[in-house]
Amino acid sequence: MTVYGQFCPVAKAMEVLDERWTLLVVRELLAGSSHFNELRRGVPKMSPALLSKRLRSLVRAGVVRRRDADNRVQYELTQCGRELAGVVESLGAWGVRWIGELGEGDLDPHLLLWDLRRRLDLDAMPRSRTVISFVFDDVASQAARWWLMVAGDNADICDYDPGFDVTVTVTTSLRTMTRIWRGDLEWQQALGARAVVLSGDRAARRALPGWLRPGAFAGVPRPVAG
C-alpha cells in the first residue's frame, strides 16, 4: 500500500484497494469463496505468493479475517469488507456498460464454467442427475469440452468426460457463451441465429436457458447509441 498524502476518503479508500488484484480477491470473497485454493480458482492468473500477500494486506486493513476453522484456514470478509459490495457492484455495472470489447486473452472457459456453476438455478433443474456438456468450437481442443454435473445440491465442473449420460449438449463459441453470460446477447437471439445449438431431449433443451443464469451484471442496461 502506498500513500497518497490526501485526507480525501476516495484517496484513503484507494490506498487500500488500488493495488492490482485486490478488488478481484474481494469480489471472490463476496461471491462466497473462503479457502485459499477456492480463491485461486477465481483468480487463476494470480500467483499463490501474490494472493497470499494480498490477503495479508486485506487482513491488515481490516477488510478480511483469517480463521482456523475445522483444521482449515478460512478467509472471510469483515463488516468493513462486506460493505465493499457497493464498490464492486458499481465497478461491475460500469465495466459491463462501457468495456464491451473482450480480447482473446480475456476469454477463459474454466472461469466461465466456474461462474455458471456458482449461479446455477438448482430449483429450476430436474431432481435427477443432470449433465450439461459444452463444446466450444473456437478454442484449442484441450479446453474445448466441459461438463457441468448436478446431482442433488451438488454441482461440479469437469474438463474430461465424467462418463454419465449427457442431458443437454451446448455447442457454441466460447465468445458467444461469454457474451450471453455478460448479458450482451440473449439466449433467444443466440439460438435463433444458431450461434448456439442445443441437443438433447426437447424439454431439456427448452429448459436449459433457465438453468444457466447469466452473470451478476447481465441485467445492467446498456448505453443507447447516439
The secondary structure of 71-129 as a DSSP string is: TEEEEEE-HHHHTTHHHHHHHHHHHHHH-----GGG--HHHHHHHHHHTB-GGGS-SS-
Interatomic CA distance for residues 75 and 81, integer angstroms: 11
Residue 31 or 135 with smaller CB distance to a copy of itself: 31
Of a copy of itself, DNA, none, which one does residue 224 interact with (CB within 5 to 8 Å by kind)? none
- Coil, strand or helix at 155: strand
184 interacts with DNA by CB under 7 A = no
The answer to whether residues 160 and 132 touch, using CB atoms and an 8 Å cutoff, is no
Report the amino acid identity of residue 162: P
The answer to whether residues 170 and 208 touch, using CB atoms and an 8 Å cutoff, is yes
**If we measure between CA atoms, which residue out of 45, 5, 43, 6 comes closest to residue 27?**
43
Cα angle value 51/84/3 (rounded, 5°): 65
Of DNA, a copy of itself, none, which one does residue 49 interact with (CB within 5 to 8 Å by kind)? DNA
Query: Facing residues of 170 across strands?
Result: 134, 198
Q: Which of residues 105-134 bind a copy of itself (CB under 8 A)?
A: 105-108, 111-112, 115
Of a copy of itself, DNA, none, which one does residue 11 interact with (CB within 5 to 8 Å by kind)? a copy of itself
Q: Which stretch binds DNA (CB under 7 A): 9-17, 44-52, 129-137, 147-155?
A: 44-52
Distance of closest approach, residue 125 Cβ to DNA, in angstroms:
26
Cell digits for 2?
502506498
140 interacts with a copy of itself by CB under 8 A = no
Tell me, residue by residue from 13 to 52, as one string, x for binding to a copy of itself by CB under 8 A and - for no binding: xxxxxxxxxxxx--x---------------x-x-------
Interatomic CA distance for residues 177 and 195, integer angstroms: 9
138 interacts with a copy of itself by CB under 8 A = no
What is the Cβ-side half-sphere exposure of residue 71, based on CA atoms within 13 angstroms?
0
Tell me, residue by residue from 58 to 97, as one string, x for binding to DNA by CB under 7 A and - for no binding: --------x-----xxxx----------------------
Q: Which stretch binds DNA (CB under 7 A): 35-43, 99-107, 142-150, 166-174?
A: 35-43
Residue 37 or 188 with smaller CB distance to DNA: 37
- Chain residues that interact with DNA, rule: CB under 7 A: 2, 19-21, 35-38, 45-50, 52, 55-56, 66, 72-75
- Chain residues that interact with a copy of itself, rule: CB under 8 A: 2-24, 27, 43, 45, 62, 79-80, 83-84, 86-99, 102-103, 105-108, 111-112, 115, 178, 181-182, 215, 217, 223
